[in-house]
């Protein structure tokens, strides 16, 4: 409930001077690089709008081949073994639980998983790591646990119980 409440409050439009001051405080507190944002702080009507900001063109040049889909930290990765992914050492969840479908999971049973963490200063957009086409988007309702180290080590099947979108 706390994550939901804070998320809701973050998107409440504020008077421009107040929103700008809050965004500048947030940027100092979390070392956000304001010069990388597409617009100056006074442009954003809320902290939530700033949190999902676009970047200045060319700030994150895209390489060739497989690229990182996010501006975050790779936490763990590995092969999907018998349809099971590792959350942290000793804590696992199934691919079917994550994707919400046994049929969808079957397509990826011999694949690999990558777990990236987006911290507060990171650019919060997700991009395709390879060329391709989106054929379906599925929203899976769930809880709103933070995905910090405490939650990863404490909440069983964190990624399979949290709200998510499967693309």
Instruction: Name the burial class of residue 69, with classes exposed (0-12), middle (13-18) and buried (19+) by CB atoms within 10 angstroms of its CB.
Output: middle
What pLDDT shows up at residue 6?
A: 75
What pLDDT shows up at residue 149?
A: 86
What pLDDT shows up at residue 141?
A: 94
Q: Chain-centre distance of CA 45, in angstroms? A: 21
Mean pLDDT by 10 residues, the chain (167 residues): 75 91 93 94 93 90 87 89 85 92 91 88 87 90 89 92 90
What pLDDT shows up at residue 64?
A: 86
> What whole-number distance in Å separates Cα of residue 113 and Cα of residue 129?
12
- Residue 56, C-beta contacts closer than 8 angstroms, at least 6 positions apart: 35, 36, 37, 38
What pLDDT shows up at residue 91?
A: 86
């Amino acid at each position: 409930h706390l994550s939901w409440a804070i998320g809701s409050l973050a998107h409440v439009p504020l008077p421009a001077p107040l929103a700008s001051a809050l965004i500048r405080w947030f940027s100092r507190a979390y070392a956000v690089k304001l010069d990388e944002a597409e617009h100056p702080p006074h442009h954003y009507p809320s902290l939530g709008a700033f949190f999902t900001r676009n970047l200045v063109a060319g700030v994150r040049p895209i390489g060739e081949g497989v690229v990182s889909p996010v501006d975050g930290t790779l936490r763990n990765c590995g092969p999907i073994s018998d349809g099971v992914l590792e959350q942290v050492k000793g804590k696992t969840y199934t691919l079917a639980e994550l994707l919400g479908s046994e049929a969808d999971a079957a397509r990826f049973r011999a694949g690999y998983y990558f777990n990236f963490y987006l911290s507060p200063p990171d650019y919060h957009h997700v991009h395709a790591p390879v060329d391709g086409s989106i054929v379906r988007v599925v929203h899976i309702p769930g809880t709103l646990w933070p995905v910090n180290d405490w939650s990863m080590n404490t909440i069983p099947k964190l990624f399979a119980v949290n709200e998510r979108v499967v693309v």
